[in-house]
Chain A
Amino acid sequence: MTDNRTDIGVIADEYVLGLLDAADGLRVEANMERDPDLKAAVAASRERFLPLDDTAEAAIVGDDLWSRIEAGLPAQGSRTGAAHKPTANDNRPGGWRATALAAMVAAVILAVALSFNLMRTVEPLVVAVLVNEAGDVKAIVEDFGNEKAAVRLLTDFEVPEGKTIEVWTLPSAERGPVSLGLIDDARSVRLNGPSLPKPHDSQLYELTLEQAGGSPTGRPTGLILAKGFAKIAR
């Protein structure tokens, strides 16, 4: 979406104004890190509109607000500390909010019902509903535990040229994230993954945007598109 240089100004402005949807906003944030022009455009746009924030009259804030902030401050240097949910990679620590995970719980019910209808003959061992940072349901992973998993995309993902979507899971913290495979044309797929221990309750599944052919490091390196924790199908 940033191919056309003249669009960068528009995208930056719409991002700064908050007019992009959550997924496009995340994409801008990710692209900004690689695209200095986009970064500069966002910075310039923020400066342009900042005088509007200066029109806000300062509210009187009590010390209790500061006390609440201070109570929640993690020590510096432990940025991915215990307060955060486990994540298969650390490229966006702390960006995922509890609300997104809460939204997921409700969605699990839907997903289990859905998978019951679709997979009547072969039951998945676990089902994970993957949400984006805003808590919107984006995909469902059904792991059958026999080196086969099905990924059902529930939304259109824009995959830039030279990129692909990679599916990850975290069987255990010791083992680290493992790739289940690639989704090349952003459509629902069945994957033949590596041999892994039986998927367990609350196992993490995640979709990231990687360079074509998959992550060069064998670990997730790109933007997290969606993630969620598995539930055992009953």
Chain B
Amino acid sequence: MKSLNSLAIHNLKNNSKKTIPTIISIILTSTLLISIGLAVSTWQKARIEDATHFNGDYHVMFLGLTSTQKDTLEKDPNINKIDLMQEVESIYTEDLTINIYTSLMDYQNYIDLATGKFPTNEKEIIISSNLAKRKNYKLNDYINTYKIVGIYNKNKIISNVDYASETAFISGTNNNSYYAFIHYKNLHNIYDKIYDTADKLGLDYEVNKVGRNYENTYINSSLLNAYGKYENKINELQMYSLISLILYILALFCALAIYNSFTISLQERKKQISILSSIGASKKQIFKMLMLEVFLLTLISLPIALLLSLGIVQSIIILINNSLHNLVNYKLSINIVFLLISILFIFLTVFISSMVPALEISGSSLINSIKNVKIKTKKLKENYPFIRKCFGSEGEVAYKNIKRNRRKFITSITALTISLILFITLSSVINYFINATNSMKLANDIRINLPDKNQVVDNEEVLNEIRAITEEEELVISKQAHFFNENKQIVQLVSLDPFNYNKYKRQIKVSNDEAIIYNVGNFLNENDEEITKEVIDSSKTKSLSICFIDYTTNELYPCYINLNNLYFTTQNYLDVFNGLTYVVSIDTFNQVVDNYLSGYANNQNFKNNYSIIINSNRFRELDKEINDIINKYSHVDIYYENNALINYNNNHTLLIIKLILYIVIFLIAFTSILNIFNVLNTSMELRSSEFSILRSIGMSEKGLKKMIKLESLMLMGNTLIYGIPLSLGIVYLIKYILNIDVTNKIIFKFPTIYVIISIIGIILIILLIMTYSINKLKKKNIIETIREDGI
């Protein structure tokens, strides 16, 4: 047996032409699976951490529970852990509320203490580091009667991201009702378990679109969603169907790639195995020898794949973190279950893939192996005139060969078809995501709003500061107010600063001081898709008036301002206008506001409401400068959004997502090409003796080419006939799954470009391999090739 083992190692070493592609196949497919596993577990962990950070670490929270209800909870067999807290009081300061809770639970498990100690009585309090920073609290300071004994970084129970409130904890109990933070034993049917608990507590509920809405109940759906649990069964089904579908295709692809590599490398060695068998090696011995080879191959490939996957995923994480600094901080998460499943799957695939041909070979009779053919006796017509007419007698031989040797043919078609399906499906899905992200794209500018509730002097000061930092930039300062027209349609009334107002007028070729009507509104069509169209019939409208709505009576009141000399346009100015907009001079604007203020408004001052738009390539530097202004005027309400920076970051994220997906596609494409090359090339090599016999009995090189061409054509034809409809079906299915219960439905578009790319790809790959094989065959001596086949 030892000699057979050394023969196995010898085979692997000496047959490197086949060993290396097999190892590459295993490495690539394993890398693909492990990388996906690592990426998913990293992403899931980030989602879970996010959900825990923002919403707290519990599955459901019940408020205002009585002692009896608390006892009921403690008896619930599904519940793993109940953390009980009671509200003590809320302390209101000028800019935030400090909510104080008390509990007898061991805070150590839930609160990450930065400094000090945990409270031991109802007079000691621990506060968040955020609160300490905002209010400049230090240890041993007092908040009312509470002495600060500790400052914590993070509590895992109650979110502390609400800017208007902060959380602090003391120790002990009181007579108030309970807050119960529940952890269930497992997440299986978690929503049913929550309903069951709420029912036991006697809580009322309303049925909503996704499930039940219980009173005094807060389900931590962000956390549950991160674990893949959705209250809406359709969402859950949608997610699992999509994941299963993609995993199923990937798994099938990986299994097929590995199976093909082994079948091919073992097919080639059938004769060697037959010789071993003929000199007395038992089936068991041969099987063991083959399994040793498989084991060694997997042992070599898996660590490489593991390292490659870790490298790829870690590099992508570094890339994302670096390009989105301060926004995200992903950490590689190695989920042992995911990893073990991937490795187990690879091991199983490799062993099953190798066992089938190994069993077949070790169990087949000597003479069958020597003959090295597995051909079905299929009754065929003697003549195929159509094929003979189109491809000559060589074509007829090729046709009969394919008809009788379907197994090898089907193997090749399957390899090609699966690769085709994967390419079209993944590319189309990626395209959907890219289109979806593109359609969500924001305007590419910086927007600042100085609302009317600020002091006039404050707004003016801020405006001047902004002007100072944007001397070189394109700056639009406008006053905006919302009113209604006669048809109760919302109208944006805009007055641009003189420079931009004149520029806009020049742009749309309006000379005198008319009201410009940006006549565009957003509407939903019959398919619930958002479309833009004209709002007012410009041909029939000579004048327009501006109205207010008295919300108590829902009646319209005109503001006694009529706009005449209207100029209708659909041309926006630097994205300032949003929907139906009346662009007027500052005088008209002030007149409308004065009328409104005198008649209907009480303390609002629209004149002081500024909207600023900055277009600049310096959006990153400006971000810092604007934030400095915001910090300087922290008492002033300033609304700021840097769409350019968000877009920049979004584009980066999109780029990285694309990069990841393209890496996946590259791995798939590379494995596919390797797999196809392996299948076709070996099939050609195994048939080189057959080709030489044909040449020896007079088939010319031209005839041989013709024969191989017909075989290639049939291969291509069959692949495209099966591959394209199947791919389209899967793409449609994915679109269908994604569209279930979604308002903005994805429209199925024929993935023309990907179909064309794949058709060209398939044709090129087959032609290249066929040309390569023919050239290789040309160099071979006829008689030597025939002899090689003999033993």
Q: State yes or no: do A and B come from one complex.
A: no
Interface of A with B (CB < 8 Å)? none
